[in-house]
Amino acid sequence: MSNYHQPVLLSESIKGLNIKPDGTYIDVTFGGGGHSRKILEQLGEHGHLYAFDQDSDALKNTIDDKRFMLINSNFIYIKNFMRFLQATPVDGILADLGVSSHQFDEPSRGFSIRYSGDLDLRMNTEEPTNAADIVNNYTKDDLKSIFQNYGELKNSWKLAENIALYRSEKKIVTTDDLKEAISKCIPKFNDHKYLAQVFQALRIEVNHEMQYLETLLIKSKEILKPGGRLVVISYHSLEDRPVKNFLRTGNFKGKVEKDFYGNEINDMILIPRKPITPSEEEIKINNRARSAKLRIAEKKKE
281 CB-contact burial (10 Å; exposed 0-12 / middle 13-18 / buried 19+): exposed
> How many folded domains does the chain comprise?
2
Picking from 69-78, 151-160, 187-196, which range would have the lowest pLDDT averaged per residue?
187-196
What's the pLDDT at 263? 85
> Tens of pLDDT along 224-240?
999 999 999 999 999 99
Percent of the chain residues topping a pLDDT of 70: 93
Residue 105 banded pLDDT, cuts 50, 70, 90:
low
Whichever domain contains 134, its CATH number is: 1.10.150.170
What's the pLDDT at 7? 87
Where is pLDDT greater, at 238 or 189?
238
Q: Say whether pLDDT at 204 is over 80.
A: yes
What SS3 class is residue 269? strand
| Residue 123 covered by a domain | no
Which of 165, 180, 206 is the last residue before a domain boundary? 206
What SS3 class is residue 145? helix
Q: State the average pLDDT for the chain.
A: 92
Whether the Cβ atoms of residue 135 and residue 167 lie closer than 8 Å to each other: yes
Strand partners, 68: 49
| Residue 66 covered by a domain | yes
Q: For residues 172 and 288, state if they share a domain.
A: no
| Residue 110 covered by a domain | no
What's the pLDDT at 103? 57
Which amino acid is it at 148? Q
Q: For residues 75 and 221, state if they share a domain.
A: yes
Which of 167, 182, 206 is the last residue before a domain boundary? 206
Range of the domain at 284: 10-101+209-299
Percent of the chain residues topping a pLDDT of 90: 78
Residue spans of alpha helices (H) in the chain: 10-17, 34-42, 78-84, 101-105, 131-137, 140-149, 156-167, 175-181, 191-206, 209-223, 237-249, 280-285
**Half-sphere exposure of residue 264: CA atoms within 13 angstroms, side-chain side:** 14
Where is pLDDT greater, at 189 or 227?
227
Which of 188, 206, 224 is the last residue before a domain boundary? 206
What global pTM score does this model have? Answer: 0.92
Residue 1 banded pLDDT, cuts 50, 70, 90:
very low
Q: Say whether pLDDT at 139 is over 50.
A: yes
